[in-house]
Amino acid sequence: MNEDTIIRKLRRRASLIGDDCAVIQPPANEDLLFTTDFSIEGVHFRLESTPEEIGYRAVARSLSDIAAMGGKPLYCLISIALAPWTNESWIDGFYRGVHSMLRKTKTALAGGDISHANQFVCDVMVYGSVARGKALLRSGARPGDKIYVSGPLGGWSHKPVVVPRLDVGRKLIGKATACMDISDGLALDLHRLCVASCVAAELETVPLLKGANIEQALHDGEDYELLYTARPGVRVPGIPIGTITKGKPGALKYRGKALSPTGYDHTQQRSRPD
Amino acid sequence: MNEDTIIRKLRRRASLIGDDCAVIQPPANEDLLFTTDFSIEGVHFRLESTPEEIGYRAVARSLSDIAAMGGKPLYCLISIALAPWTNESWIDGFYRGVHSMLRKTKTALAGGDISHANQFVCDVMVYGSVARGKALLRSGARPGDKIYVSGPLGGWSHKPVVVPRLDVGRKLIGKATACMDISDGLALDLHRLCVASCVAAELETVPLLKGANIEQALHDGEDYELLYTARPGVRVPGIPIGTITKGKPGALKYRGKALSPTGYDHTQQRSRPD
């Protein structure tokens, strides 16, 4: 299986592929959104997962960033580096997972790159759009805002299926004051939102996934729920978990005690624990 | 050095970075171009190169695809996976190379992802634009067209500095019938252009880089010169190398003899030779 064979297979399902660049007409009166996320063997996934799950999740991770801005996904570029062990049936399974997520979210595969490495590496770039000037940013939270999450938390080990919250994100346009997705754990990501908004936060209740404990909900990554804030009295979907406060930017409290903003750091040379 | 430290450093030079997605206003009356290219340790570069060269070349590779469409680069996303050996000074050098190429071509760094792997992996996504409907494609070559290259060839070992041919690409708009960049060797890439255009090709003369031989010019990769066709009599920049002919799509001849469309295949588990 060589490069041109893989590309020929992809073109059967993705007619845009075939030139040096994808050529796309931009939507009128919208802002463009761009995001990119790695999925690396031993870091973001283990080979005990099926290739379908790995492909599905690789795309879901980038779509979650589009959801966090209140956007609509349009096109994606997928780059893969094959590992010494990858064979045709694994790659076919991987792309079945990719296409399944793309179909669900009406996102078109427009290109990518193919190479090889010691471990399987995938990078998914998604391009989407949002009404001009309406993107949900991390930086708009103000003291007094209520803090919400789009669903219960518990980290990667309790989250077998990632569903990018595109529907929730779009409903928050014009309502949420700040929004992001939880990829590295509630504590670390809420800290980032607070730093960007120059505010502090106090958490009261954190909804847990079945079987998860509060430590996992606070500090594990890969939840891919949305984390957002809204003025008190503004009705938004989701579960309220606390309040934005004045204070040192990024300082967090959980039930009155200081909460450390620790979570998953992608630069560290370790895998997620089993 | 953790993820937030690297991001803080990048934000000093790239104010767009900081949210889940980059938010960008699209240019009016233009088509958008997207491309993405890996730079992987041991595959696309060796550590004997300086980090500046590696960063510079990683960006140049994607810009060359924008040049091949006659486009103008606007923004890029750069994802890096740190290897166990990467330290702060190497990363700083890498980004010096990245920023040097970005400055030369007026391209803004808008985001990316950071992770880790067993070897250093970089993926550069560039977003650019071109006048609506005017992108140079691979598929427009017709029998009788003259074939050109933008400069002498010789493959990766004779090409210390990659200069994306953005200026040449833009001059070809409305003149070239087909265009692509030579990344995997003249023979393989001309074969691809001919397959896309349903034509054959006959090469007569191939300009050589100093010290390079004809085998390297035909079958090595990493030239990053443009390869393009134009109707006879149409004045274009560059060096004429042959003629498009009727025949089996993709069939090549060099000085009257059949030429095998072999070149660099990115899926094969081998590095470029030393």
User: Higher pLDDT residue, A93 or A266?
Assistant: A93
Cβ atoms of B199 and B141 closer than 8 Å: yes
**pLDDT above 90 as % of chain B:** 76
Examine residue A176 and state whether it is found in any structural domain, yes or no: yes
A36 touches chain B (CB under 8 A): yes
ipTM for this model: 0.88
Residue B13, pLDDT score: 72
Domain that holds residue A34: 3-131
Residues of A in contact with B7 (CB under 8 A): none
Indicate the pLDDT class of residue B272, thresholds 50, 70 and 90: very low
If one counts every other C-beta atom within 10 angstroms of the C-beta of residue A64, the result is: 28
Residues linked to residue A45 through DSSP beta bridges, in sequence order: A41
Lateral strand order in the sheet of B146-149: B178-181, B226-230, B146-149, B239-245, B200-203, B252-254, B257-259
Q: Cβ A40–B115 below 8 Å, yes or no?
A: yes
Measured between CB atoms, which of A2, A33, A111 is closest to B35?
Answer: A111
Q: Cβ B23–A40 below 8 Å, yes or no?
A: no
Q: Cβ A33–B23 below 8 Å, yes or no?
A: yes
Q: Name the pTM for this structure.
A: 0.90
Q: Cβ A79–B123 below 8 Å, yes or no?
A: yes
Pick the closest to residue B181 from B147, B228, B214, B116 (CA basis): B228
Q: Report the CATH number that the domain containing residue A97 is assigned in CATH.
A: 3.30.1330.10
CA distance A85 to A106: 31
**What total of structural domains would you count in chain A?**
2
pLDDT 10s digits, A7-37: 887 877 766 677 888 898 888 889 999 999 9
B25 touches chain A (CB under 8 A): yes
Examine residue B22 and state whether it is found in any structural domain, yes or no: no
A17 CA: distance to closest CA in chain B (Å): 11
Residue numbers of B between 185 and 214 with CB closer than 8 Å to A: 192, 196
Same domain, B99 and B167: no
Same domain, A120 and A169: no
Tell me how far the alpha carbon of residue A82 is from its chain's centroid. 23
Examine residue A266 and state whether it is found in any structural domain, yes or no: no
Q: Cβ B20–A180 below 8 Å, yes or no?
A: yes
Examine residue A265 and state whether it is found in any structural domain, yes or no: no
CA distance A129 to B179: 30
Same domain, B118 and B158: no
Same domain, A157 and A243: yes
Kindly state the DSSP code that residue B147 receives in the 8-state scheme. E
Closest residue in A to B75 (Cα) is: A34
Give the type of residue at A241.
I
What Cα–Cα distance (Å) separates residue B19 from each residue in A78, A128, A130, B1?
Answer: 21, 14, 14, 20
- How far is the first Cα of chain B from the last one, in angstroms, to the nearest whole number? 33
Q: Cβ A31–B40 below 8 Å, yes or no?
A: no
Examine residue B57 and state whether it is found in any structural domain, yes or no: yes
Examine residue B239 and state whether it is found in any structural domain, yes or no: yes
Residues linked to residue A240 through DSSP beta bridges, in sequence order: A148
Examine residue A267 and state whether it is found in any structural domain, yes or no: no
Residues of B in contact with A22 (CB under 8 A): 33-35
CA distance A169 to A64: 9
pLDDT 10s digits, A31-69: 999 999 999 999 888 888 999 999 999 999 999 999 999
Q: Cβ B36–A77 below 8 Å, yes or no?
A: yes
Measured between CB atoms, which of B1, B112, B267 is closest to A82?
Answer: B267
CA distance A118 to B36: 20
